[in-house]
A and B are shown apart, each in its own frame.
Chain A
C-alpha cells in the first residue's frame, strides 16, 4: 500500500469510529484528541481496526505513535514496508 492508499484507508476507519469528524478540517500533524472528540474506547477501537484491516501487529507501547494522522501514516508505512 502506498501512502495515498494508507491515508484513504486510515481516514475511512477513523470515520467509521468518529463519524462526526470532518476530514477536510483535519490537521495531519496535530493530535486527534486536540481536534475532535475521541475517547479512550474509540481510540482503542481505531487501533484494533487498523490492525485487522491492514494485517499489521501494533504493540500497545506503540499506541501513542498513532495519535495523529501523520504519525499513523509514518508508523503504518514502516510496518507495511510501503
Chain B
C-alpha cells in the first residue's frame, strides 16, 4: 500500500459515489477480491479472515485487542490468532469432531469466541453462537435443534445453564470450558486452555466447498420452535464487501462492534467482516456503561464504531455534556443496527461525536447488511438508507399465488423483498424445508418487514408483518415466551406482544388468563415474572404481566396478538384489517 494514503479519521471512503459504485459492482468481482484456499481448493471463511493475513505482511498486526472486565488488555496478532485457531481445529479433530458437525458457543465478548468460530471453520464444522443471557430453556431448545456436538463456554455459565440439562442432550459429546485458569474442570467437561496447549500448532484447512454450511444462527418464529438459519462459506464474500462498502472498513482501522456474539451481528460484523478487512478489533467484555464506552473510544482510538439504537438512546439520556469531556478525534464512521434509529439519535451523533450515526438494515436470514446509509451519501434521518451495491430491493405485496406484485409507486407501504442470489443469503432452516420455501416467491426473498420507499430511493421501516418483538435489538418470538408461561400451574392461556418503549423500542409484555381459583395479586405476579425469567433469561422474559378474563381469538382459536397490541397502544382496531392476515 502507498504510504501516503491517509488512514484513520482521514481515510478516503471506500464507496465514493453511490450510483457509480452500484453500477460497477458485481459479486464475481467481489469474490475475486478474496484469495480462496491455496491451489484452488475452494473458499473457507477462516482462510480469508485469518490465515491469508497471517501468511503475509499483516502477520504482526494486532487482530484482537481484548478488554477484560477487570481492566486487563490482551492483544492477539493475526499470526498468533492463526496458531490459536489451528490448535483449536486440531482439538476438534483429536476429539473426533467431523466435517459438518456443529460447534456451539455460549460466551460473552471474549477472544475465545473468535478462536472457536475460526477454528470450527478450519475443521469444516458449522459454528453456532448462543446468547449468554439466555435462560436454560432457550439454550436447551437450540442445542437440541442444532444437534450441538461441541459447546464452548465458561465454568460459570456451564454450571448455571447447561449442567442441569446435560442428560437431555445426547448429541452434545464435548463441553470445552474457557478461562478455567488452572481450576479443575467439572465432571463431563474439558479445560479448553489445556487442550489448546497440547494440540498441534499447525493445521491445514482441507479443500472447502464454498456452498458447504459454515454458520447456524437461530432466529425466533411467531409459531413453533426457533428456526436455525444456515449460511455457507461463500457468505464471506458478502461479509467482506459490505464491511468495506457499508461500514467503510479499511485495513488499518481500529474497529469496535458492540453487538453480543450471540446474535448474527456479533458474528458477521463482530468477527468475520473486520477480520477479512485485516482491521484491529476491539473486543470489550464489559457491559454497557456510558462513560466506560467513551473511554474505550478515546483510549483505543476507534475509527469505525458499530452499535445499536438502545445504546445510542441511553447515551442521549446522559446528555452531550458527558461526551464533550472525551477526545473522539479518531472516529471516522458510526453505524447502528437492530431496529430503526430515531432521527434525533442520528443528529445527536453529530452533536456528541461530530459525526452522524448511519443506520442500516439486515436480518439473520440475509447474513449481511442489505440496506444502508453510506458514508458519502446524504442521510435522511430515520431512514434505513439504500440497497448496498449488488442487492436489488423492492416493495411487494403477496398475491397468495406463486408470484408477488411489485409496487413501484413512491411511499406505498408493502413488504420488503430482496432479489435472490447474493452470497450470504441463508440456504435453509434446519430440518424445516417447508418453512424455508415459504420465505420465497417469484425469485424474491420476502423479509416479513413492512417498509416504504420514498421518491429518492430511500427505504423507511414501518413495522413487522408478523408478531415478532424487537426489544433492545433482540428479535423475540412470542410463542417461546407464551409456552413457558403456560407451564406455570396458574396460567390457562397466554398472549405475548411487544409494548412500545422509549428506550428498548419494545419490551416484552404478556397477557394471561388465569386458571379458575387463581387471582392475580402481587405474589402471583412476582411468581410468574420470576418463573419466566428463570426459564428464558432476563432479555427474553416478559417485563410486564397482566391478567385478562379472556384473550381475543380468531375463529380457529388462535390468539390475536395484534389485537392485544392495538388495545395496549390505543391504536384503533379498524387499522388491523391491513395488518392482520388471520382475522
Contacts and interface: CB of A to CB of B under 8 A. Distances in A.
The answer to whether A and B come from one shared complex is: yes
Interface of A: 15-16, 18-20, 33, 37-42, 44-45, 60-61, 63-64
Interface stretch (B286-294, B410-418, B512-520): B286-294
With a 10 A CB-CB cut-off, give which of A15, A60, A63 has the most chain B CB atoms: A60
Interface in B306-351: 310, 314, 317-319, 322
Q: Is the interface of A mostly helix, strand, loop or mixed?
A: helix
Interface in B278-298: 287-292
B289 to A, nearest CB: 6
B530 interface: yes
Given A37-B533, A61-B291, A19 B504 contact: no
Q: In which size bucket is the chain B interface?
A: 20 to 34
Interface in B528-552: 529-531, 533-534, 537-539, 543
B133 interface: yes
B289 A64 contact: yes
9 contacts: A15-B526, A16-B526, A19-B529, A20-B530, A41-B503, A41-B543, A61-B290, A63-B290, A64-B289
Interface of B: 133, 135, 287-292, 310, 314, 317-319, 322, 471-472, 501, 503-504, 507, 526-527, 529-531, 533-534, 537-539, 543
B538 A19 contact: no
User: Which of A41, A42, A45 is most buried by chain B, counting CB atoms within 10 A of its CB?
Assistant: A41
Contacts of B537: 37
Contact of B533 (A16, A20, A45, A64): A20
A72 B527 CA distance: 25
B568 to A, nearest CB: 17
A75 B317 CA distance: 20
Contacts of A60: 290, 317-319, 322
Given A39-B539, A40-B310, A18 B533 contact: yes
Contacts of A16: 526
A45 B544 CA distance: 12
Nearest to A21: B530
Contact of A19 (B133, B289, B291, B533): B533
A33 B287 contact: yes
A61 B504 contact: no
Contact of A37 (B526, B529, B538): B538
Nearest to A15: B526
Contacts of B471: 41
Given A18-B533, A19-B529, A20-B530, A41 B501 contact: yes
A19 B526 contact: yes
A19 B317 contact: no
B472 A40 contact: yes
Nearest to B286: A33
Given A20-B529, A60-B322, 16 more contacts: A15-B526, A16-B526, A19-B530, A19-B533, A33-B287, A37-B135, A37-B537, A37-B538, A39-B472, A39-B538, A41-B471, A41-B501, A44-B503, A45-B543, A60-B318, A61-B322
